[in-house]
Amino acid sequence: MKNVIVAQISVKKEFNTEFLDFAEIMVTKSNNEDGCITYRLNKDVYNDNEYLFYEEYINKEAIDFHNTSSHFIDFINKISPMLLKEPIINIY
């Protein structure tokens, strides 16, 4: 059964460019994972500091693989100090 993740991210204004640089790498590598159907980053049209990751995976095992991948762990470590607040993550 397909699984969807929606993650809302709020970035401190001074880190927008740096965040997008790291996010571009994350999106590219995630889309190349086995089991990833789509991995997209969207930017809020009304607030430059708000982003939404939309992710689709073929199953839970693909999510587990993604969440333990080196590029995911590296991304989280790099962006954590850039965040305004804890991300809101929903899994469907």
Identify the helix (H) or strand (E) that includes residue 88.
strand 88-91
- What does pTM read for this prediction? 0.94
**CATH number, domain at 55?**
3.30.70.100
For the chain, what is the domain count?
1
Q: pLDDT tens digits, residue range 34-92?
A: 999 999 999 999 999 999 999 999 999 999 999 999 999 999 999 999 999 999 999 99
Residue 69 belongs to domain spanning: 3-91
pLDDT tier for residue 1 given thresholds of 50, 70 and 90: confident
| Strand extents, DSSP E, 44-86 | 50-57
3-state secondary structure of 24: helix
Residue 24's contacts (CB-CB under 8 Å, 6 or more residues apart) are none
